[in-house]
Amino acid sequence: MEYKEYALGDAYELQNAGGIVLICTRANDGRFDLAPVAWCCPMDYDGASKFLCVLDTGHKTYSDIIETREFAIALPTAQQLDLIKKCGSKSGFMTDKYGEFGIESFPGRKISIKLPVEVAGWIECKMISVNPVGTSGVITGETLGAWAAPDFWKMRVHFVTGNTYFSPGEKL
Ligand SMILES: Cc1cc2nc3c(=O)[nH]c(=O)nc-3n(C[C@H](O)[C@H](O)[C@H](O)COP(=O)(O)O)c2cc1C
């Protein structure tokens, strides 16, 4: 996949269209993890784009971000629906998902992270804040770098509920 690099202030465009993301993380012990997250949106584009993600505080990805203060927001494609479901079916506390699911990956460019090959794009972030609210943790992050394929938004996957997903149609 050919990726265009985005200016830090334009990175929000990658998630303007919304859709499922794969939050990719690393723990202090060097292990990597990733999990699908539907609740992730842009919140600012002044300087570097900022994002918020809502993660269950029991998730491995959540504790990884608290440990390393870094994460990536990867944009999976419709062809990666199976990967999305698999990564959402198990916790990184129980298994190494990259090994168990045979996920081919490439390294992050600004942070030490593993990204699944053939994603439509990704945004590397440093954590700015974490705000636990009950069992949910609201994590905010600032863009360190962002890359996406041309027309990445056409490849995105959106989640409704249960087993209902859709992919965007044509540009209007
Ligand atoms: C389509 C889909 C959307 C999801 N969205 C979220 C979400 O927005 N926030 C969240 O905390 N978990 C969400 N999950 C659940 C986590 O991805 C799942 O519990 C995962 O196994 C957590 O892995 P971890 O413990 O390795 O972080 C979603 C799962 C799926 C399949």
- For the chain, list the domains and their CATH numbers: 4-166 (2.30.110.10)
- Mean pLDDT to the nearest integer, 16-38: 96
Closest residue to atom 21 of ligand 1, CA basis:
88
pLDDT for the residue numbered 94? 97
- Which residues line ligand 1 at a C-beta cut-off of 6 Å? 20, 33, 35-39, 54-56, 59-61, 85, 88, 90-93, 159
Contacts 24+ apart (CB under 8 A), 79-82: 79/118, 79/155, 80/116, 80/118, 80/119, 80/157, 81/157, 81/165
Query: Is the Cβ–Cβ distance between 61 and 22 less than 8 Å?
Result: no
> What letter would DSSP give residue 149?
-
Closest residue to atom 14 of ligand 1, CA basis:
37
pLDDT one-digit tens code per residue, 31-73 = 999 999 999 999 999 999 999 999 999 999 999 999 999 999 9
Is the per-residue pLDDT at 17 higher than 80? yes
Residue 79 CA, chain-centre distance (Å), reads: 16
Q: Which of 16-20, 68-72, 90-94 has the lowest mean pLDDT?
A: 16-20
CA of 172 to the centre of ligand 1 (A): 31
Cα gap 25→71, rounded to integer Å: 5
Closest residue to atom 6 of ligand 1, CA basis:
37
pTM passes above 0.85: yes
Q: What is the DSSP string of 29-56?
A: TS-EEEEEES-EEEEE-SSS-EEEEEEE
Cα gap 99→122, rounded to integer Å: 21
Per-residue pLDDT band for 172 (boundaries 50, 70, 90) equals confident
